[in-house]
Structure 1
Amino acid sequence: MSTPFIRNHQYNVIKKQTDFLLKTLRTVADRKVLETVRYRAATNIIEAIPSLTIEQQQMLEQISTFETAFDFQRYLSSLEPFLEPYPTITVKEIQKLFPKNKKLKIPDLQSIDFRYVTYLSWVDIATNRLFIVYPFEGQFIGIEGRITPTNKKGYCLFCNRHQELAFFLVKTKHANASPDDYSAVGQYVCMDNHKCNQSITETGLLEKFILTVRK
């Protein structure tokens, strides 16, 4: 039985290194350069996934041996059974994260392939609200705020990729402050959370933002 050990953002690192190595193989003839790129691709993957067993590391390092697009696609497919899905969450658990929102609209959880989810999010089009649910240290954190399309492309705070952006504004209450004492924190994020989850390769900035504005 396969033991999952690769999180979505780490799998995205593997995909990125696979794409880069394949492009290099197609455009570079110098064998020394190719060997350097092969080594660097394997190293980047290993560094992105801490606490690997010897078997897991050997499996991932196979990337340095491939030559064709078919080889790389087969490699990625072989890793899918080892993807660690987003933690199981129920509708009731999500509702508890947003107790003030009595008419909370939640996406169909059954339709989501949670192997490819780093953070769960959705937009309530009727209210222009973006909701994010993120697993952190054994618990779920829920944040919400107003989402405003910018109709332009730029770099998303979460995935650091050039995507169609929206401005996400979250009201946050200061510690020990009065009930009416709020400030607002805003950042540019992907309009399409699915593409963002496909692109994100590290969680540091995402976690920093969520922990800054958490309730």
Structure 2
Amino acid sequence: MVKPFIRNHQYNLIKKQVDLLQKAANSVSDPKVVESVRYSAQSKLIEAFPEITDVQKQTLEQISTLRTTDEFQQYLHALKPYLTQLSQVTGNQLNKLFPKIKKLKAPDFTVIDFHYVTYLGWVDIASNKMFLVYPLNGQWVGIEGRYTPSNKGVCFLCNRHEEVALFTAVTKKKPANASPDYYKAIGNYMCVDSAVCNKNITDVSALETFVQKVTGYHIS
């Protein structure tokens, strides 16, 4: 039996490629074009899993055999048991991540299905702050920053046009010769609703780069 190996963002990528292939199969009359889309979809899935086993690769490559709407849906459904689950973050862990905040107002994470989570994010309107929590190298890392509401725009994490806010965080990383009052803020437009973002995100590169720049932690 194949062990879980698909992270949330990777499953979102699979769904995106399945959708593109299904649309091509249903609307394009030229078989060569459809086969080109089919090859592209399979290639992108394999590229997204650089360390998969041969058995896992065979599981993903089944996308190239899909023809009917039922087959596309069955393929996605059959992959769900292979979704990895993030460890659930606890209240104590959150308090340690944000020790300077005496009364941290966080959502109820016990009702979240962590199979479909890449990161945790929420807004505290009262304090005008936005929070982001991400499992970096197996350890939860927390970032807090200013929350500036905006109109719809492109989120730097999921690259989709959604309701966004400017998330500005002060970096903890300082140059070796920096003065004691050294200050540098990093800002990006980010989905206000992390649940929406977690459904859209297909790549964690931007997220991990942001976490690294703000926290100074090394990403292995």
| TM value normalised by structure 2 | 0.91
CA distance, structure 2, for counterparts of residue 57 and residue 107 of structure 1: 37
Describe how 1:45-84 pairs up with structure 2 within 5 A: 45-84=45-84
Q: Is 1:149 the equivalent of 2:149?
A: yes
2:123 and 2:192 in contact (8 A); partners too: no
CA distance, structure 2, for counterparts of residue 174 and residue 201 of structure 1: 27
Aligned equivalent of 1:162: 161
Describe how 1:56-205 pairs up with structure 2 within 5 A: 56-151=56-151, 153-173=152-172, 175=174, 177=178, 180-205=181-206
CA distance, structure 1, for counterparts of residue 46 and residue 100 of structure 2: 43
CA distance, structure 2, for counterparts of residue 179 and residue 113 of structure 1: 42
1:2 and 1:81 in contact (8 A); partners too: no
SS in 2 for 1:185: strand
Deviations 1:91-141 (A, max 9, x none): 111110100001001221210011111111111122121111111123221
How far off its partner does 1:178 sit?
A: 5.3
How far off its partner does 1:183 sit?
A: 2.2
How far off its partner does 1:180 sit?
A: 4.0
CA distance, structure 2, for counterparts of residue 47 and residue 71 of structure 1: 23
Deviations 1:66-99 (A, max 9, x none): 1222211111111111101123322111110100
1:6 and 1:82 in contact (8 A); partners too: yes
CA distance, structure 1, for counterparts of residue 53 and residue 184 of structure 2: 45
The letter for the 2-side match of 1:155 is V
Aligned equivalent of 1:44: 44
SS in 2 for 1:76: helix
Deviations 1:53-74 (A, max 9, x none): 2211111111111122221111
Describe how 1:200-211 pairs up with structure 2 within 5 A: 200-211=201-212
Q: Percent identity?
A: 55
CA distance, structure 2, for counterparts of residue 38 and residue 2 of structure 1: 24
How far off its partner does 1:185 sit?
A: 1.5
CA distance, structure 2, for counterparts of residue 128 and residue 193 of structure 1: 16
1:4 and 1:83 in contact (8 A); partners too: yes
SS in 1 for 2:171: strand
CA distance, structure 1, for counterparts of residue 193 and residue 69 of structure 2: 28
2:122 and 2:193 in contact (8 A); partners too: no
Aligned equivalent of 1:20: 20
Deviations 1:5-58 (A, max 9, x none): 000111111001001001111111111111121111111111101221221111
Unaligned runs of 5+ in 2: none
CA distance, structure 1, for counterparts of residue 180 and residue 89 of structure 2: 30
SS in 2 for 1:86: coil
The letter for the 1-side match of 2:156 is L
CA RMSD in angstroms, aligned pairs only = 1.7
How far off its partner does 1:154 sit?
A: 2.0
SS in 1 for 2:212: helix
SS in 1 for 2:6: coil
CA distance, structure 2, for counterparts of residue 190 and residue 3 of structure 1: 32
